[in-house]
Amino acid sequence: MSMNSESTLTRRRFLGGAGALAAACVAAGMFGLPALVLASDGPANVDEIIAKDLGAGPIKMEKVKIDTPPKAENGALVRMPVSVDHPMEKDNYITMINIYVDDNPKPLVGSFEFTELSGKAEVELRIKMAKASQVRAIAKTNKGQLYGAVLKIEVAEGGCAG
């Protein structure tokens, strides 16, 4: 049985084909094809994302504080301090704080875990916001209770908050 050299898969042909496929994937990404797939999924339902991440149940809008001005001077760098006024005791403590920006393509922008030894349930991060949006900070206790705060943050156009 003789093998035709054109039908034989060589390492060189395999690598050449793999390279061409990789280049096609990169080119498709540059021309927005993944964005079309994301757009067909529709806007993210942040309530569903929170329920998936932290568990379903009522969120008590208390104990959590987002200490950010309601107008960001620079959307590229929005300072986001979040604290929870809750005990950090052996059987009663905050296990997690998640930060969500409703109008982001991926709403979850930060997730932080705690133990009773953490002392305080507080974090500070810097986030990027292209436009005005609601920001949500949701804390979960070791008993599954959810506490939260919501703040609408306006982003100054061109970085000027005037």
What are the pLDDT digits (tens) for 77-124? Answer: 999 999 999 999 999 999 999 999 999 889 999 999 999 999 999 999
Q: Does residue 115 lie within any of the structural domains?
A: yes
What's the total number of domains in the chain?
2
Instruction: Report the CATH number at residue 63.
Output: 2.60.40.2470
Looking at residue 116, its amino acid is: E
Q: Is 42 left (phi over 0), alpha (psi -120 to 50) or beta?
A: left
Q: Are residues 94 and 134 in the same domain?
A: yes
Q: Are residues 23 and 78 in the same domain?
A: no
What b/e sequence results for 71-83 when a residue is b if at least 16 CB atoms lie within 10 Å of its CB, and e otherwise? ebeebeebebebb
pLDDT > 90 fraction of the chain, expressed in percent and rounded: 62
| 42 — pLDDT class (breaks 50, 70, 90) | very low
Q: Are residues 24 and 68 in the same domain?
A: no
Query: What rounded mean pLDDT belongs to the chain?
Result: 82
Q: Are residues 55 and 27 in the same domain?
A: no
Q: If we measure between CA atoms, which residue out of 128, 126, 129, 133 comes closest to residue 151?
A: 133
Looking at residue 21, what is its pLDDT? 62
The model's pTM: 0.70
Average pLDDT over residues 118-146: 95
| CA triple 42-45-48, angle to 5 deg | 135
Q: Is the pLDDT at 38 greater than 50, yes or no?
A: no
Average pLDDT over residues 53-64: 95
Question: Ranked by mean pLDDT, which of 32-36, 94-98, 128-132 comes out on top?
Answer: 94-98
> Who contacts 108 (Cβ-Cβ below 8 Å, separation ≥6)?
49, 53, 98, 99, 100
Q: Is the pLDDT at 34 greater than 50, yes or no?
A: no
Looking at residue 73, what is its pLDDT? 87
Residue 30 is part of which domain span?
11-40
Q: Is the pLDDT at 27 greater than 80, yes or no?
A: no
Tokens of 68: 């950010």
Q: Are residues 64 and 93 in the same domain?
A: yes
Q: Are residues 53 and 35 in the same domain?
A: no
Task: Give Cα separations from 82 to 58, 130, 143 (angstroms).
Answer: 20, 21, 21
Q: Does residue 27 lie within any of the structural domains?
A: yes
Q: Are residues 116 and 53 in the same domain?
A: yes
